[in-house]
Structure 1
Amino acid sequence: MIRSLIILLCFLTLNCEGDNDSVSQDQEDPKVIVPLSDQDMMTLTQSETFKYFWDFANTNSGAAKERYHPTNPTLNQNVVTTGGTGFGLMAILVGIERGFITRTEGVTRLNKILNFLENANRFHGAWPHWLDGSTGTVLPFSSKDNGGDLVETAFLAQGLICVKEYLINGTDPEKELANKADLLWKGVEWDWYTQNQNALYWHWSPNYGFDINLKLTGYNETLITYVLAAASPNHSITKQVYENGWASNGNIVTSSTQYGFPLVLKHAGGSTFGGPLFFSHYSFLGLNPKNLSDLYGNYWNLAVNHTQINRQYCIANPKSFVDYGANCWGLTASYSRNSDGSLGYSAHSPSNDIGVISPTAAISSIPYTPSESLSVMHFLYQKKEKLLGPAGFYDAFSPQNNYWVADAYLAIDQGPQIIMIENYRTGLLWNLFMQNTDVKNGLTKLGFNY
């Protein structure tokens, strides 16, 4: 329910664009491919996915495009996504550490992006969902969504904090850039987005105010918004905003289990099988769930169980879809296949399963299910002639439909892959984010153990 507005808009937009040329339905290539080691598999996935944020970023701003279609590269080329750009900032840090780019190259690109963000439209400190990469002006995401988007802003702020921590002890120019990143996220008026209520609200428009009136209630991808709102030194929220908003006064807790795994918290949308896997990705790109708990639950157990339930559902395969199983699983929001074979968008999950697998689902879950996620990566690599494109594994495919492939990419699906693989390998982004003093203060304020 939380992302229904977004999903509907993307669906309508994509179908209006008539992107049928982005769909491949060729026969499966039976050629056997020499498998990679686990380490090489992770490095390849990271290096190829990194290209989305480096080679195919918006030219003018350096920020992340909302989408990239290799068969139609000029499609929406100036539409920059705020949340995806936050993921891109973190991906650039990985690129530096992995040697995909030099530190100088990375810092130069980071400077370009932050200069763009500094001059872009903001609404009580929050950036909109979409920006024009050439001008920095807001691009409406829907008829009333032409102002601040607090959740996308939180994803961006997560990346800005990691940049700040990464560069703060560097050269003088790097320190200056670190301070800019720090000031940018601290300029967000988180408390404004409460409407003076004990909850955070997703949108504010200069034309429509809070008309969309979408309260941020968990469990979903919005936990990071509450953490950063509490962490803000100048625009902080109270603990009651978190308790009443995110946790619904304790009603977020559930005793439901699936396949022997406790769900821990109720998922937005009401599914007792758990929502799309991005629920357990976006907030935890920087926020480390390993030792994270509060009055309502243990977030590591929650994320692991959410992933295992999603995987076990695919293994059980109640709809008997082709190739679903231990090596081919992962349901989350991504491009999708419409009934006529054209390209659409859907929040895939066990309660919305149409036979479409999203590579980001299992790959970005690697900290929670290491061997299980690697099995999926190896499976995808064996079909690389169809599934691996110029910016990593394509966004979605359907074994059920003769290996239909959505040969396109979305920033919010590519970013978590490179970031979460790195968190599994070295903890890079987790360490950067969790060492931030303001973040620590925010977590303590909300009653977290971490």
Structure 2
Amino acid sequence: MACIFFVHSVSLTPSAFALSQRDFILLKKIQRDTFEYFLVHTDPETGLARDSSRPGAPVSIAATGFALASFAIASSHGWLSYREAYQKIEQTFNTLEHKTPKQKGFFYHFLDPKTAKRIWGSEVSSIDTALLIAGALLASSYFPGTSLPQRAQHLYEQTDWDWMRNNTLLFSHGWKPESGFLPFYWDMYSEHLILQALALGSRTHPVPRAVWSEWERVHDAYNGKEIVYAYTGSLFTYQFSHAFIDFRHLNDGGINYFDNSQKATIANREFCAAHADEYESYRNRVWGLSACLGPNGYKAYGAKPGNAYHDGTVALHAAIGSIVFTPEESISAIRTLYEYDGGRLYGPLGFKNAFNADRDWWTDDYLGVDQGMTFLMLENFLNDGAIWNRFMNLPQIKHWIERTALSE
């Protein structure tokens, strides 16, 4: 009996990546299972997404942005009906508009799931608000002709991006009513590119053009690859903004940030391979150093170039989050991790957050932002850049590109 193999052509790169039917089915399963997180861990009363699957976890405003996007995308796959997705997004918008406290349009990082009020003394967060707004704008684009696009636009327009500069040309990480602006600024490459894009694209609270050029592009090399690197070397810093923004054809004074993330991902993989003799976790083509839970709590694990703090803990979302940059290397790692030790790293909501073979440790927990980034990156990879196509057509993003002269 002849065996028939189906090959899916994924055209995210100049030479389309051929995806086997077996891998396609696995990736679709991971995407669908990962989406389940937002069905289970979005509060039914407020529509806000929890930071993690741990009992008693607060709401994360960034995870809520990913949830909004995920609900809309799920409706396009038939995993939710159009009406179900609309109602979930509408419920979240109702909470954001009428219940959640704000400062100059910015939201607090962590909220109580039931009351939607500030919790843990958290800060009004610049990056987490940006991820929320990005998710709201993307989600609403799936529902033209309804009130959702206008409501998402209102959330965007009320955000006073200029205020978050604190009279500098850099964005502060955040603000607290007790002490004012945090003494930390987005001053080098990191996940803040989505914040930059939304702020520079704003017409209601515009920031100076010089804001884009003020943060430093610090270069360093690893194994011959020169990279504009993030301080921690954590892979998520090269992924989060890219879940929304298609950087493939944007040139920032000779820097292509898609290519940069590709090189950073390969460096992360090679860094793990170089330390495989020291750490069992990095053997058998396993890699992925990023911020995640670990044996001693949440850590910003990373690779060179950068701070490169690591102890054998692998973030299970890291390789998937780079699938648009390194499909072959990512899928190889995904297969290995999916089958690892009888499948103990995979659960009903997709890949668990992290493991460390050297410490015989793994977590059964999931983190909302990592689930969201995984889901969105798989959508871009499996559906020919579907998110990118929508997001890049937003007038706010077009205005950012025009203002910063990012050449196509």
| TM-score between both structures, scaled by the size of structure 1 | 0.81
Distance (whole Å) between structure 1 residues aligned to residue 32 and residue 136 of structure 2: 22
Partner residue in 1 for 2:44:
59
Partner residue in 2 for 1:222:
192
Distance (whole Å) between structure 2 residues aligned to residue 389 and residue 83 of structure 1: 23
Shift of residue 392 of structure 1?
1.0
| Partner residue of 2:326 out of 345, 369, 375 | 369
Secondary structure of the corresponding residue to residue 147 of structure 2: helix
| TM-score between both structures, scaled by the size of structure 2 | 0.90
Cα deviation 1:116-143 (Å, max 9, x = unaligned) = 111211111000101122222112355x
**Is this contact kept in 2: 1:194–1:201, CA < 8 A?**
yes
**Residue type at the aligned position of 1:268:** Y
| Partner residue of 1:413 out of 366, 370, 373 | 370
**Residue type at the aligned position of 1:295:** G
**Is this contact kept in 2: 1:253–1:297, CA < 8 A?**
no
Cα deviation 1:257-315 (Å, max 9, x = unaligned) = 2122221x24225xxxxx10001111111111211221261111111001000011112
1:282 aligns with 2:258: no
Q: What are the within-5 Å matches in structure 2 for residues 319-358 of structure 1?
A: 320-325=278-283, 327-338=285-296, 344-350=297-303, 351-358=308-315
1:359 aligns with 2:316: yes
Gaps of 5+ in 1: 1-34, 270-274, 339-343
Secondary structure of the corresponding residue to residue 330 of structure 1: coil
Partner residue in 2 for 1:8:
none
| Partner residue of 1:190 out of 161, 169, 173 | 161
Distance (whole Å) between structure 2 residues aligned to residue 41 and residue 291 of structure 1: 29
Counterparts in 2 of 1:310 and 1:141: CA distance versus 1, 3 Å: farther
Distance (whole Å) between structure 1 residues aligned to residue 298 and residue 317 of structure 2: 14
**Residue type at the aligned position of 1:292:** L
1:161 aligns with 2:119: no
1:240 aligns with 2:203: no
Q: What are the within-5 Å matches in structure 2 for residues 138-177 of structure 1?
A: 138-142=118-122, 145=123, 148-168=124-144, 170=145, 175-177=146-148
Distance (whole Å) between structure 1 residues aligned to residue 82 and residue 132 of structure 2: 21
Counterparts in 2 of 1:59 and 1:225: CA distance versus 1, 3 Å: same
**Is this contact kept in 1: 2:71–2:139, CA < 8 A?**
no
Percent of counterpart pairs with the same letter? Answer: 29
**Is this contact kept in 2: 1:130–1:139, CA < 8 A?**
yes
Partner residue in 1 for 2:12:
none
**Is this contact kept in 1: 2:229–2:264, CA < 8 A?**
no
Counterparts in 2 of 1:36 and 1:386: CA distance versus 1, 3 Å: farther
Distance (whole Å) between structure 1 residues aligned to residue 192 and residue 277 of structure 2: 31
Secondary structure of the corresponding residue to residue 293 of structure 2: strand
**Residue type at the aligned position of 1:238:** P
Secondary structure of the corresponding residue to residue 278 of structure 1: helix
Shift of residue 323 of structure 1?
4.6
Shift of residue 318 of structure 1?
5.6
Shift of residue 369 of structure 1?
0.6
**Is this contact kept in 2: 1:362–1:376, CA < 8 A?**
yes
Shift of residue 36 of structure 1?
7.7
Cα deviation 1:410-430 (Å, max 9, x = unaligned) = 111111111001111221211
**Residue type at the aligned position of 1:66:** D
**Residue type at the aligned position of 1:437:** P
**Is this contact kept in 1: 2:281–2:313, CA < 8 A?**
no
Shift of residue 89 of structure 1?
1.3
Q: What are the within-5 Å matches in structure 2 for residues 95-114 of structure 1?
A: 95-114=74-93
**Is this contact kept in 1: 2:162–2:206, CA < 8 A?**
yes
Secondary structure of the corresponding residue to residue 308 of structure 1: helix
**Is this contact kept in 1: 2:73–2:139, CA < 8 A?**
no
Distance (whole Å) between structure 1 residues aligned to residue 277 and residue 338 of structure 2: 25
Partner residue in 1 for 2:9:
none
1:180 aligns with 2:166: no
| Partner residue of 2:56 out of 75, 80, 88 | 75
Partner residue in 2 for 1:30:
none
Structure 1 runs (4+) greater than 3 angstroms displaced: none
Cα deviation 1:223-277 (Å, max 9, x = unaligned) = 1111111111100111112212x23xxxx242x32122221x24225xxxxx100
**Residue type at the aligned position of 2:155:** L
**Is this contact kept in 1: 2:49–2:67, CA < 8 A?**
yes
Distance (whole Å) between structure 2 residues aligned to residue 189 and residue 425 of structure 1: 35
Distance (whole Å) between structure 2 residues aligned to residue 376 and residue 442 of structure 1: 35
Distance (whole Å) between structure 2 residues aligned to residue 182 and residue 161 of structure 1: 7
Gaps of 5+ in 2: 1-19
Q: Which protein has greater RCO, CA pairs closer than 8 Å, 6+ apart?
A: 1
Distance (whole Å) between structure 2 residues aligned to residue 36 and residue 424 of structure 1: 14
Secondary structure of the corresponding residue to residue 131 of structure 2: helix
Shift of residue 105 of structure 1?
1.1
**Residue type at the aligned position of 2:160:** E
Shift of residue 382 of structure 1?
1.1
**Residue type at the aligned position of 2:225:** F
**Residue type at the aligned position of 2:109:** H
